[in-house]
Structure 1
Amino acid sequence: MQFPTLESLATRQVISLDEQASLADALALMNQHAIRSLLVCTAKGYRLLQAKDLMAFHLQGVSFNVPLAQVLLPRALCLPPEADIQEAIKLISLHQAEQVCLVDANNQLCGIVTYTDLVQNLDPDALAESQRLGDLLRGMLLLQVNKEMPVSLVLSLMQQQGVNTALISENRKPLGILTLSDVMRLLSQGQELSCRVEQVMSSPVDTLPEHFSVRQAVNSMREKSFKRLVVVNDKQLVVGLISQQDLVNLYYSQWFALIKKQQQDLLENNQRLEQKNQVCLQLLEALDYPALLLDAKGQLDQYNQATQQIFGKEKLVPGTSLVELMQGNPSVANIKAIFTKIEAGQAAKAEVMFKSARGYYQAYQLTCQPLENTGRSFMLLSFKPRQALDTLNLK
């Protein structure tokens, strides 16, 4: 099985800016399009400006009037359009990024794939496991703050812990959340960040019960178009926070493991079949009279060297039906019952007069026998010579 290509999932219209634009321009554009990252086009390739970078620049006191060319930005992760999902997941997981750019051989930008694109293309029914959210979230980092904390302090904590979201709670009950999108909105509005976080948090909080399976979480995330959801127990107390990134990583890691197992099983099955084919071929060659194997469809699978004496090598093409092989011989019309039994996988026997590849007639006893325990449905067809008509040459 092949993984889908990134090109088939990509968002074609990529929001970008030239490096001469300012941080303020980038902030305005990101708020306008409700995005958390922006591609910056430079003379040396593509760079990426993320919401967490804007937060860091603000905390460091960097003026938003400076051009993008004067701030240090990470290189955008790039892959060719024909790369598959597996490559993208490995790359963005390694670099803790949220997207990968598709760049062709001419260094032209073809699109971008984000975690949102991946979530929208997940097939929840293909996720066979039934792991509960509560089990998944054990040990995962969650930043919880109280409602009276100043926004500036919450932002500092988010930066220190390297998280994109802070959960505002009281006695473990969720009150609201503050995300990087909220941070960008506040920065764009020039709002004073000394205010209490409860004044700017997003509330109420959408939640999922901890007994939900990962499959149910994927469905909920897609239906509500949310990037993250708070997970609670039966008493509505916070258990953790599940994000698109968590779900995508888990989903595809399960999928990769499943595909890898299927590929390994297929390889092992093919090896077993190849071994059996070799055994069958050795047994055929041990016979001193023409013999061949027909598959379940009555088509040629294998044959021995002696078979070439009566059919000719050019006619012995795998997949050729027995009817085609015997066409032009005088006995064909008289053994239709044999063909019927062979198609039904039944044993059969008949006397036939057969014209060989060299133009000689020879009487044969045709015997067809089903083979058992080969892993596939085979019929062994043999031509045992009777008395030769050695005086007749039809050349």
Structure 2
Amino acid sequence: MKFPSIGEIATTSVVSIDIDRTIAEAMKMMFNNEHRNLIVRDGNNFRILRVGDILNIKIQNIDLQKSLRELDLAVVQTAHKDKNILQIVDYLNCEIEYICVVNDDGSFYGLVAHADIASSIDPDTLMDNFCLQDFLKLSRRAKWVNKNTKTMDLLQEMIKNDFESVIVIENFKPIGIFTTKDVVRVMKHNEDLELNIGSYMSSPVDTISKDCSMKDALEFLKLKRYKRVVVVDEDGKMSGIITQKELISLSYSRWAMLIKEHHEELSQLNASLLYKNKKYEVMASTDALTGLYNRHKFSELYNSSYLTMEQRGNVMSLMILDIDYFKKINDTFGHGIGDGVLIQISHALLKNLRNIDIICRWGGEEFVVLLPAVDLNQATFLAEKLRESIEIFEIDMVGRVTASFGVTQVNRGDALEAVVERADKALYEAKASGRNCVRANF
């Protein structure tokens, strides 16, 4: 297997414009070619005119006869055409999805998009048993809206939060998608932005099951030439979105495992790969929103902690906590504020736990904490302290919230699933008792 240079995968027939040309000329070029982005040549630098820039121009009523130089256009990263593809994976961290490929003299050679990198990944190197439902815990929250949302309101939110796509749902099932490509179409035809997004969404939506593997998802992206995968559960309801960038990043960690088989080709990259491996290990073990451990990493840590408990003859306990009425917070204030609540609660929990305690975002508004060397009575006491600290904690924009707790002790021979099930039953009792309380289950 040979890792290609970026010159080998670059697109060399690229539409571009000089920075001293007018905004009107650039927009005409974008609309005629139906491009979502346009490369702007600025001497030895390359900039990019994006759909978001065009929307801002329209909203701010900027004179279209002004030159592109008067706009604050983002700079696109550049890389020499002979660079190995492994050397540019870090560029995926940039919000711009393109890399300008240059010749020895710095002149423009071509363009590499995330889609080109994804297409160069050999699916056989990926983990077939790595399911999307596990990877969804690493993915950032996607934007979902109702079909009755006004188009202008949605466009403004897309600009503000840098959304490249929005899923339109009905009864939690995806019925349409609105991407930057649709934005170009709406603006090109000067559509009425006061109409609902249901008038302009692309429908139907191609989806993939959350039980599919990473390999399936990547092959789906290559076949469809999409920039994202819309993931649904067994009932066809939204589970989340995984972007090209996220799939490539995780695939990269798999690539790194092949180093030993390709010593001669990769010897000069070893130092940088060691650094990158650590970074992607962290990414694969933590929840993207809160920074806490994810389920996969928590399972590993439970197993090692259990062995330590047996070797030392110690005890160990586990608690589950769930933020009360979290759906109401999302419905009242929006998912962005809801995310902020989860982050602030995470910080509050970390502040009140010991360094040896292991905390994980279990999913949604649920958190699981493993308490080494703590028996059930001590765990119940600690859960009560955490409950009180959350109850008096002032959350930005929302005020005060409460949480319910379920606590259990780890028994000899307990697998994680059995412990979680007992704690979950105790949590159910806490909720049935009126919430904002602690219940224990032996």
Q: Which residue of 2 aligns with 1:29?
A: 29
Q: What SS does structure 2 have at the residue aligned with 1:69?
A: helix
User: CA offsets, 1:86-106, max 9 Å, x none?
Assistant: 22221232x222110111231
Q: Structure 2 matches for 1:194-343, cutoff 5 A?
A: 194-259=194-259
Q: Which residue of 2 aligns with 1:122?
A: 121
Q: Which residue of 2 aligns with 1:184?
A: 184
2:109 partner letter: C
Partners of 1:65 and 1:181 in 2: CA distance: 24
1:70 partner letter: E
Q: Do 1:27 and 1:184's aligned partners in 2 also have CA atoms closer than 8 Å?
A: no
Cα shift at 1:11:
0.7
User: CA offsets, 1:337-359, max 9 Å, x none?
Assistant: xxxxxxxxxxxxxxxxxxxxxxx
Q: What SS does structure 2 have at the residue aligned with 1:242?
A: strand
Q: Do 1:119 and 1:218's aligned partners in 2 also have CA atoms closer than 8 Å?
A: yes
Q: Which residue of 2 aligns with 1:391?
A: none
2:22 partner letter: S
Partners of 2:46 and 2:215 in 1: CA distance: 35
Partners of 1:220 and 1:233 in 2: CA distance: 17
1:188 partner letter: K
**CA separation of 1:149 and 1:97: change in aligned 2, threshold 3 A:** same
TM-score, length-scaled by structure 1: 0.62
Q: Which residue of 2 aligns with 1:91?
A: 91
Q: Do 2:76 and 2:96's aligned partners in 1 also have CA atoms closer than 8 Å?
A: no
Q: Which residue of 2 aligns with 1:352?
A: none
Partners of 1:256 and 1:59 in 2: CA distance: 46
Q: Which residue of 1 aligns with 2:68?
A: 68
Cα shift at 1:201:
0.6
Partners of 1:263 and 1:163 in 2: CA distance: 40
Q: What SS does structure 2 have at the residue aligned with 1:250?
A: helix
More helix by share: 2
RMSD: 2.4
User: CA offsets, 1:35-55, max 9 Å, x none?
Assistant: 322111123522121223223
Partners of 1:244 and 1:34 in 2: CA distance: 21
What 5-or-longer segments of structure 2 have no aligned partner? 268-442
Q: What SS does structure 1 have at the residue aligned with 2:252?
A: helix
Partners of 1:63 and 1:130 in 2: CA distance: 54
**CA separation of 1:257 and 1:59: change in aligned 2, threshold 3 A:** farther
User: CA offsets, 1:167-214, max 9 Å, x none?
Assistant: 111221111111111111111111221111000011111110111111
1:124 partner letter: P
Runs of 4+ in 1 over 6 A off after TM superposition: none
1:132 lines up with 2:131 in the alignment: yes
Partners of 1:59 and 1:135 in 2: CA distance: 40
Q: Which residue of 1 aligns with 2:172?
A: 172
Q: Do 2:19 and 2:68's aligned partners in 1 also have CA atoms closer than 8 Å?
A: yes
Q: Do 1:143 and 1:158's aligned partners in 2 also have CA atoms closer than 8 Å?
A: no
**CA separation of 1:187 and 1:177: change in aligned 2, threshold 3 A:** same
Cα shift at 1:151:
0.7
Q: How many percent identity over aligned positions? A: 29
2:100 partner letter: C
1:105 partner letter: D
User: CA offsets, 1:118-171, max 9 Å, x none?
Assistant: 122221111135211122112521111111111111112222222201111122
TM-score, length-scaled by structure 2: 0.56
Partners of 2:182 and 2:215 in 1: CA distance: 28
What 5-or-longer segments of structure 1 have no aligned partner? 268-395
Partners of 2:62 and 2:261 in 1: CA distance: 51
State the number of aligned residues: 265
Q: What SS does structure 2 have at the residue aligned with 1:92?
A: helix
Q: Do 2:10 and 2:111's aligned partners in 1 also have CA atoms closer than 8 Å?
A: yes
Q: Which residue of 1 aligns with 2:50?
A: 50
Q: Which residue of 2 aligns with 1:101?
A: 100
**CA separation of 1:257 and 1:55: change in aligned 2, threshold 3 A:** farther
Q: Do 1:19 and 1:67's aligned partners in 2 also have CA atoms closer than 8 Å?
A: yes
Q: What SS does structure 2 have at the residue aligned with 1:53?
A: helix
User: CA offsets, 1:298-338, max 9 Å, x none?
Assistant: xxxxxxxxxxxxxxxxxxxxxxxxxxxxxxxxxxxxxxxxx
**CA separation of 1:204 and 1:2: change in aligned 2, threshold 3 A:** closer
Q: Which residue of 1 aligns with 2:145?
A: 145
